[in-house]
Structure 1
């Protein structure tokens, strides 16, 4: 069994509270039993972390479709992505105004699985080539798209349309990308 310090438990409960958007309940925290024993009770543990006991009634302060949308947008900034139904602190109210989670997310203007990156770096073509050359030097070969930093790959896709196009246009590869390499000249699939 791993031994967790009091400081570790407090930091974990604070992170959990930030992720949920409200004080965690016992069922939200995997180390609740250990924390309750160590601090004497769940309430004492939350107080030691500077949190209050979860009260579902306090959360129902959002009472309109627009209030829910604003709360989701604010939580997306904190989380770094659009909240899913398990992360959204007002999910119990969503279904009073919307027939599905997808309808709600569409209403907010957020996109499911969209990552928000603060201070996103914009790469020039030269910077992208330099970044890929560094990885190439370390590997001793042309890297695969998943072997470069995600931000570099995302910029390559945005600027060049794809990894193979980038490699060809910037001289990494002499092989031009094709639409579908499984199709013969006659149009029949292999």
Structure 2
């Protein structure tokens, strides 16, 4: 196979000169990972990587192997919008949940064209959390609370739209506690589930 001239460009673009060749091999096969905490910059890296895939592998599905504790609402929503934009152009983005899919990760999981899970993967739904500073003005606290409510509503709506479970039901489940589900419970969550299929082997070719 001819050398892919796009690889060095990708390396320079993300300022990661020592990018592991094993990771590049997976990217060239349409496989990427989303792991750890969703922090600032996650969406930018995702955009660069998926754009590279669409140029070098037009029309072929993209696979995301995801293991995340959640994180930034901004990054989560950016990733959700990007995945939707890509799939609307006809490129499937399938997601495999491994280990733990928590908080924002559950909402992100719902963007997958097909949503797969390993048997021991666990899922966590909870309300958006935040910290209030004791020295802040009351109006600032109220504004922050209102913003948290808006973000929480978006999270719940993203889950509701794909699973078929009402927003009110989801909010009630997560109202006072962390709501954990194993893979089977995730598959049975609402009419359409948090996931589509439980697998015990990788659902893609290396």
Higher strand share: 2
Fold match by TM threshold 0.5: no
Q: TM-score, normalization: structure 2?
A: 0.26
| Relative contact order, higher structure (CA 8 A, sep 6+) | 2
